[in-house]
Amino acid sequence: MKPLLSILERTLQHNRKWDFIIFTLLTLLSVVNGQSTVFYIIYFFWFSELIRIIVDRFCYKQNENSIVNIKKGETIFSSLFIMVVYFIFIIVFFGFIANWKNNELTLINMEVLFFKNWFFNSNLLFVLVERIYLHKTEQPLAVGFGMFTPNILILHISIIMGAALLFFVVKNFPKTFTPDNLWGSVIIIFPFLILSAILSFYNTSKINIQQ
């Protein structure tokens, strides 16, 4: 039992690395499961960030090891405002316009939107439980609110790049990016994962310096 607890403790001490690895694995699994769409992936990114914002707001004061970076005038409401704007854009653009006249993909998107996709729901539940658990065990998590936090900027850039890749690459090479393969989803999630890796490395370095 003690070796198991020791492994768990070491894992928690390096949660910044594991957090990115787990998030990446969940994202890749969402592609490999066969029912993933571009909307599924972008919406999963968005919802994961929404969970982080809400959980951090209610838990960070009880976590003595939180690395708080909240500038004057920045509150959770400014974060939620920009998230609502992104939500509308993601639904309209990636949920409907990107799959115009493709009823099958639109149906999958609607199942995800209304929480009828159990793989999607399970992934979100894991993200929620993990974030709460990390706060409850007082892990050194970076916390910030506002319209221009690093996570929201990554989401913003990823949405723009995802839209550009979808319409200028995926749509222009229908023989390569067919509905039967996963390459379209892979190429669209790639920028997000690269940016997330850079942010994860930066946060880890920053927290290690402060410790």
Per-residue pLDDT of the chain (211 residues; tens, 9 = 90+): 444 334 334 444 444 555 566 666 766 676 666 656 778 878 988 998 999 999 999 998 888 888 777 777 678 888 999 999 999 999 998 888 877 777 877 888 899 999 998 888 988 998 899 899 989 988 888 888 888 887 788 888 888 888 888 888 877 887 777 766 667 777 777 777 777 767 666 655 554 555 5
Contact 90/113 with Cβ under 8 angstroms? no
Nearest alpha-carbon partner for 93 in 146, 50, 37: 37
Task: State how beta strands 142-143 and 67-68 pair.
Answer: parallel
Q: Following DSSP, what letter does each residue of 71-87 receive, concatenated?
A: -TT--HHHHHHHHHHHH
First to last CA, the chain: 29
**DSSP secondary-structure letter at 69?**
-
Q: Amino acid identity, residue 85?
A: V
**DSSP secondary-structure letter at 211?**
-
Residues in the chain: 211
Distance of CA 66 to the CA centre of its chain: 20
Strand, coil or helix: what is 139? coil
Distance CA 149, CA 140 (A): 17
Contact 141/66 with Cβ under 8 angstroms? yes
